[in-house]
Amino acid sequence: MPTVIIVGSGLVGAATALAFHQVGIKCTLYDQVNPVEAVMDGRAIEFGASGGCVSIQAGGLRVLKTLGLLDECIEKGQPHPYLSFSKINGSSQIVADARTSNKKAGETDPKLQTPLQILRSTLHNILMRACHRVGIKTLINKKLLDIKQNSDSVTVTFVDGTEATADLLIGADGIHSATRRKVFGDNLVAKFTGEMGHIGVVNIKEHNITIKEADKASFYVDRDNKRFLAIFQASEDTAAVRVSTFDDPEVEDQSYRPVSDLPKEAGRLADLLHEWGVPDYIEKMMRNSFRISAASIYDLPDLETYRKNRVILIGDAAHGMVPNAGIGLLTGLEDVGTLLAIMLERGTAAANQARNLRVKGMAASPIFGGSLNHFIFRGVAALNNAGLFTLYTLFDCEAEVAKLIQEQESK
């Protein structure tokens, strides 16, 4: 049975491990930090640069459904039927129906047409618990140091001096992936965009804050001063506020507040939002945040390939992107879904072929004993030698995926 090392037990790494497990492939997760301990204790996890909350569109919800986790995510998250865009003080609101865009994107299941917002820590908790339930091992304090591969296997060395060897390595180690730098090129690094800010997470129930349906995923912009604010309701009782400023080197007039000036504390950030003239309830959300994480925004140049021999990049390690479209995780979950679909179809067919061969190979006729089967097998071998039979068909991954995409598009 093939073995797989997954470096990075973030959202995409954990989802990949579950997908491999579903098709019977043994894998182990390795991470430089210890998210598992915190998750198992029920503690909230700080995700630093990646913030407080994610919105998952229909395609990502489909993958969670395939992994058997959709209902739990819906129960612990918050559907947001709308996206709204306003000026920084909440005026001139534009409301878009997110269900219509998912319908237009091709989603026919009404349950999946409404995007779901969920706290990152909650989603990670759900994924890691699912890994734990099925016995997927996660080894922690394993910071990747080096990778060596040959025609038979791939070996990873960690900073603590330990090693692991497997048939395949999945680099799910995020936008600053060490796997990518080691195997694909040292120059392939994410670039800082100049946008920096903070995300506050608040218990809205405790502070009597009500968010209107249209405002559950809402964006506020002051283009003149390069200020940005976003609100995300993440569950019945929690919401996230994200505040950013842009340090644009192309803009000569740097009279707007420079990035480095943004305070890190909830109270001082709330005072700043007051100065900006944001709606009162948003200022209150920031003031009462129980957790503030930093969010520096990076962008990764497009890679020419996500695979080199026995190493595959997945999630942000492959295609880390600026968060403006809110589809980074969605794309990572699509990677997982694509791997799973191909592995499932191909893997199930191959396994059935192998089982069939095992049964037929060992079968004996009641009258002729094992000789009959040996005779049949001789015939099969002759057909093979004459080029009329093959045990398997060549699988051209790129062509197969292109075919799947074309089939979907023509539906």
Ligand X SMILES: Cc1cc2nc3c(=O)[nH]c(=O)nc-3n(C[C@H](O)[C@H](O)[C@H](O)COP(=O)(O)OP(=O)(O)OC[C@H]3O[C@@H](n4cnc5c(N)ncnc54)[C@H](O)[C@@H]3O)c2cc1C
> Which member of 59, 77, 81, 174 binds ligand X (CB under 6 A)?
174
Of 4-12, 102-110, 204-212, 351-359: span binding ligand X (CB under 6 A): 4-12
Q: Dihedral through CA 96, CA 62, CA 54, CA 76, nearest 10? A: 100
Contact set for ligand X, span 177-206 (CB under 6 A): 178
In contact, 97 and 82? CB cutoff 8 Å: yes
3-state SS record for 109-149: CHHHHCCEEEEHHHHHHHHHHHHHHCCCEEECCCCEEEEEE
Of 206-214, 260-268, 272-280, 310-318: span binding ligand X (CB under 6 A): 310-318
CB nearer to ligand X: pick between 67 and 178:
178
The reply on whether position 241 binds ligand X by CB under 6 A is: no
The reply on whether position 33 binds ligand X by CB under 6 A is: yes
The mark string for 112-151 relative to ligand X (x by CB under 6 A, - otherwise) is ------------------------------xxx-------
Beta-bridged to residue 307, according to DSSP, are 312
Least distance between ligand X and beta carbon 392 (Å): 32
Least distance between ligand X and beta carbon 25 (Å): 19
The reply on whether position 157 binds ligand X by CB under 6 A is: no
The reply on whether position 13 binds ligand X by CB under 6 A is: yes
Q: How far apart are CA 221 and CA 243, in angstroms?
A: 10
In contact, 65 and 112? CB cutoff 8 Å: yes
Report the candidate in 81, 328, 75 with the shortest Cα–Cα distance to residue 215.
81
The reply on whether position 50 binds ligand X by CB under 6 A is: yes
Q: How far apart are CA 110 and CA 85, in angstroms?
A: 24
Least distance between ligand X and beta carbon 344 (Å): 21
In contact, 282 and 253? CB cutoff 8 Å: no
The reply on whether position 328 binds ligand X by CB under 6 A is: yes
Report the candidate in 331, 321, 329, 327 with the shortest Cα–Cα distance to residue 300.
321
The reply on whether position 8 binds ligand X by CB under 6 A is: yes
Residues lying near ligand X in the complex (CB under 6 A) are found at: 7-13, 30-33, 49-51, 54-55, 142-144, 172-174, 178, 295, 315-317, 323, 326-330, 332
